[in-house]
A and B are shown apart, each in its own frame.
Chain A
Amino acid sequence: MTPPEGIPTAVTPVVPVPHVPLLRLTQIDRRFGAVEALVGANLEVRAHEVVAIVGDNAAGKSTLAKVVAGVLQPDAGLIEIDGEAVQLTSPSAAQQLGVATVFQDLAVADNLDVTANLFLGREQRRRGSLLLDDGEMEVTARRVLRDLGARIPSIRTRLGELSGGQRQAVAIARTLIGKPRIVVLDEPTASLSVGQTAEVLNHIENLRELGLGVIFISHNLNDVRAIADRVEVLRHGRNNGSFSGREATNEDLIAAITGAFRADEHLQAHRRG
């Protein structure tokens, strides 16, 4: 947007816009046989930013998320974290580099309580002992849920007894345990009621306030435009436009998703592909 006339634009940069993004994917290719899941896909995420990825079914949204999460390895392309080329060879490698992911199926254990789910596979032990440090884990669990603003009455409730929204909150809170810098959320508001969606959107805003970079994959353009700083459209595995979350209209996004609008880079990628 161009600033209206008469408004002073001379403000000395005090917090300079970071030039190096937290995460940068360049020219990512990934094929499954004849299926081109990603063709020359690009993505940048900065700290303190919510980047939404939207697109039709099979546009490559989830594949991109899996590449960032370290679940899938790209056939070609460059992944940089803090400007340094990295290999995300496995989910744990990605986690070590500060990327935490919540997949659509959440991967929570219904028979365990909230605290156990938060620390699943990363249980804290008492110093010099094999015993679990339950006290410390509960303290951390309470803190993380509070940071997120989650309404979960008891951290000792079994997951099976929580609502869909509360389970999503636990899954998001779990990402905060490893002190991540990038959180990937794959369709976190799918099949939630409006009240639960509201809670999840507030959680995502809180992640942003905590200074994290968030990748938010969704079908719902209202949810996306409500919280995203930037919206990236994928179409047939290629980038088809990047929009400011504040200025994009539903019409712009739908045009890009359905192909009524073709970004230049999309056409180029298509010719190359």
Chain B
Amino acid sequence: MSGGWATGSQTSLREANRAAILESVKRYGGLTQVELVGSTGLSAATVSTIVKELTSSGLVEVRPTSRSGRRAQLVTVARRVGLAIGVQVGTRHLRVSLGDFGGEVIADQTLPLPSEHRLDTTLDRTALLIVDLLERVGATLDELVGIAMALPAPVDTSTGLISVRGVMRGWDDEPVAQVMSKRLGKPVWVDNDANLGDLAEATLGAGRPFADVLYVRASHGIGAGIVLGGRLHRGFAGTAGEIGHVQVDPQGAICRCGSRGCLDTVVGADALLAPLVGSHGALTLRDVMHRAMAGDPGCTRVVADAGEAIGAVLASTAQALNPQVVVVGGELAETGEMLLDPMRRELRRGMLPNLIAPIDVVPAMLGQQAEVMGALATVLENTDVADTVDRTATTREEER
């Protein structure tokens, strides 16, 4: 327990109980009062009193539901005008988050994906997960105002098409937004994952104090988002910041995009794992992170070398844009200074030393949620709140 509560006092006990109930409701999306008794270990009377308090202060909502045929009261986090869905389609996982207009994430779910996952299966599973999440908090599709999706490829946001062939195999020429929009009957926005990550970090995370923020997403592939003067710069058809496809080795391997020796062929997941096969056996990217953090020298070296290679490429990008800060996210960033220190060193070595404002490299604050939070923000930004309030109010009136 933190904060200034006097331990053992009535007030601190009530505060702790309130916190326990709120935390449980957030973790499960929605729970009945009986389930809350089980999950918090509090008495039924206490749960009932606290839920009433939380309802009147507008923190939670209670609606009728049923559990194994019996009537029950479902307690969920209070929602502010409509719901938004943020989806991150990763190389090896899918993350779907349900948020409200207060920017609060109400429920989320991740699903591991096979490598080279297919468009049809993945979009189908996404749609089903969206409906599943809505059900979990006792909401219907009518309350959903829109969906935004982050893809690990450059996206032309005006058409919603992936603008470079081959980066996501089998996803080229597919109007992802249209397919999803037709399926669920909601507006759908599609953008690059690093762009959405930058949007979230620049407005809610580590880039908040700055106007110009370069966000690097180091995961299975490398990408960057560029926020200049508080605005996201996507480039003409969405390829701005694609540092993963800057050539670093003219004699290197051929990249998925068709060029030779791209940064992705040196620090992408396949390239990071390949040199470890002989010594460590077949690992996953997550294994490498965990072992590096546990101090394994081979894995540490792989991460540090990746930081150096990314830093060298970032130097020219940062020289061209002169951002105040570089925020580093994605799975690799979980290793912290192991990745950031060599990246920072290489970045500063490769650009003009700015005496007034030396560029800093900092870890992302929103972690793995940055991309979905950026997606949620996109939905909120593109939806007319007042209009939605009116419509929701009218439908509620009609229901009565």
Pair A12/B253 contact, Cβ less than 8 Å: no
Cα–Cα distance between A161 and B32 once the two chains are bound (Å): 12
A window 181-224: CB within 8 A of B: 193-195, 197-199, 201-202, 205, 209, 221-222, 224
Cα–Cα distance between A2 and B270 once the two chains are bound (Å): 10
Provide the residues of chain A in CB contact with B301, threshold 8 Å: 11
Cα–Cα distance between A244 and B92 once the two chains are bound (Å): 15
Cα–Cα distance between A262 and B206 once the two chains are bound (Å): 54
Pair B249/A6 contact, Cβ less than 8 Å: yes
Number of A residues, CB within 8 Å of B:
47
Pair B279/A11 contact, Cβ less than 8 Å: yes
Provide the residues of chain B in CB contact with A156, threshold 8 Å: 38
A window 87-111: CB within 8 A of B: none
State the main secondary structure of chain B at its contact with A. Answer: helix
B window 236-289: CB within 8 A of A: 249, 251-253, 261, 265-266, 270-271, 274-282, 284, 286-287
Provide the residues of chain A in CB contact with B125, threshold 8 Å: 194
| Known A-B contacts A9-B278, A151-B28; A157 and B35 likewise in contact (beta carbons under 8 Å) | yes
Provide the residues of chain B in CB contact with A194, threshold 8 Å: 111, 125, 128-129, 132
Q: Mark B96-126, 1 if CB is under 8 A from A, else 0.
A: 0000000000000111111111100100010
Nearest Cβ distance between residue A188 and chain B, in whole angstroms? 14
Further pairs besides A151-B28, A156-B38, A247-B115: 12, Cβ < 8 Å:
A4-B265, A5-B253, A6-B253, A7-B271, A7-B274, A8-B275, A13-B280, A153-B39, A195-B133, A205-B112, A222-B114, A226-B112
| Known A-B contacts A161-B68, A195-B129, A249-B116; A201 and B111 likewise in contact (beta carbons under 8 Å) | yes
Nearest Cβ distance between residue A29 and chain B, in whole angstroms? 30
Cα–Cα distance between A199 and B307 once the two chains are bound (Å): 33
A227 within 8 A of B: yes
Pair A153/B38 contact, Cβ less than 8 Å: yes
Provide the residues of chain B in CB contact with A250, threshold 8 Å: 118
Nearest Cβ distance between residue B171 and chain A, in whole angstroms? 16
Provide the residues of chain B in CB contact with A229, threshold 8 Å: 282, 284
Pair B121/A14 contact, Cβ less than 8 Å: no
Pair B280/A198 contact, Cβ less than 8 Å: no
B52 within 8 A of A: no
Provide the residues of chain A in CB contact with B28, threshold 8 Å: 151, 153
Pair A5/B251 contact, Cβ less than 8 Å: yes
Residue of B nearest to A196 (CB): B132
A34 within 8 A of B: no
Pair A3/B129 contact, Cβ less than 8 Å: no
Which of A193, A194, A225 counts the most B-chain CB atoms under 10 A from its CB?
Answer: A194
A260 within 8 A of B: no
B332 within 8 A of A: no
Interface-facing stretch out of B290-298, B321-329, B338-346: B290-298
| Known A-B contacts A12-B298, A15-B291; A153 and B24 likewise in contact (beta carbons under 8 Å) | yes
Residue of A nearest to B115 (CB): A246
| Known A-B contacts A8-B275, A11-B275; A195 and B109 likewise in contact (beta carbons under 8 Å) | yes
| Known A-B contacts A161-B67, A161-B68; A14 and B297 likewise in contact (beta carbons under 8 Å) | yes
Provide the residues of chain A in CB contact with B24, threshold 8 Å: 153
A17 within 8 A of B: yes
Pair A193/B115 contact, Cβ less than 8 Å: no
B51 within 8 A of A: no
Cα–Cα distance between A12 and B276 once the two chains are bound (Å): 9
Cα–Cα distance between A227 and B270 once the two chains are bound (Å): 16
| Known A-B contacts A157-B35, A198-B110; A151 and B275 likewise in contact (beta carbons under 8 Å) | no
Pair A153/B31 contact, Cβ less than 8 Å: yes
Cα–Cα distance between A245 and B389 once the two chains are bound (Å): 48
19 residue pairs A–B, Cβ–Cβ below 8 Å = A1-B274, A1-B277, A4-B252, A4-B265, A4-B266, A4-B274, A7-B271, A13-B280, A14-B279, A14-B280, A14-B296, A16-B279, A153-B35, A194-B111, A194-B125, A195-B128, A205-B112, A222-B114, A246-B115
For the complex of A and B, list the 5 residue pairs with the smallest distance between their C-beta atoms, beginning with the closest.
A154-B38, A225-B114, A4-B253, A195-B132, A3-B274
A78 within 8 A of B: no
Provide the residues of chain A in CB contact with B297, threshold 8 Å: 12, 14
